[in-house]
């Protein structure tokens, strides 16, 4: 796993709350969702305790504030194990507005029986919306968990479904 020594961050005001976006020299390494800026900054500090954090003076918006979809293609600084990265890449291949079960994702990686590990990789994801863990659901089709809360997960799923219908 690579170590990031410096992160620029900024806040994005979203219709449903706030996002804090962190960018290293390699790309976006964090996108956390929450209700207020103070809590999000504390979460970023906790996630990168050995890293120098600096508020960015200029930063291109990363999320569309209403539709909660990425506002463009951004380089990513994925920080995780090889398995976690493979899960995150698999999630990005799921079409917007669709979901897959943790088991289906595990099977797509050639790791049947690793549904729980897929769920843990989703929980370790530090880049909400761009690494779309909200597309992963439990076997029964219910939401399962989500690092930033089920309201955010449902909001991201609803926004993607609406955006997909508009572009069809």
Residue numbers annotated as active site: 133
Cα three-residue angle 76-15-20, rounded to 5 degrees:
35
User: What is the Cα 94 distance to its own chain's centre?
Assistant: 14
Largest CA distance in the chain: 46
Tracing tokens 């999630």 back to the chain, one arrives at 91
Continuous segment of H or E residues that includes residue 20: strand 17-23
């Amino acid at each position: 796993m690579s170590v990031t020594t410096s992160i620029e961050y900024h806040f994005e005001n979203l219709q449903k709350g706030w996002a804090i976006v962190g960018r290293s020299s390699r790309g976006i390494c964090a996108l956390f969702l929450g209700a207020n800026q103070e809590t999000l900054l504390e979460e970023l500090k906790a996630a990168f305790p050995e890293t120098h954090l600096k508020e960015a003076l200029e930063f291109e918006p990363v999320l569309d504030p209403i539709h909660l979809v990425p506002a463009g293609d951004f380089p990513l600084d994925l920080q995780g194990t090889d398995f976690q990265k493979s899960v995150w890449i698999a999630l990005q291949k799921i079409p917007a507005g669709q979901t897959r079960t943790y088991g289906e994702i595990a099977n797509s990686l050639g790791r049947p029986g690793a549904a729980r590990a897929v769920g843990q990789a989703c929980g370790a994801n530090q880049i909400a919306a761009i690494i779309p863990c909200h597309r992963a659901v439990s076997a029964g089709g219910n939401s399962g968990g989500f690092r930033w809360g089920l309201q955010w997960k449902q909001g991201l799923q609803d926004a993607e479904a609406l955006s997909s219908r508009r572009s069809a």
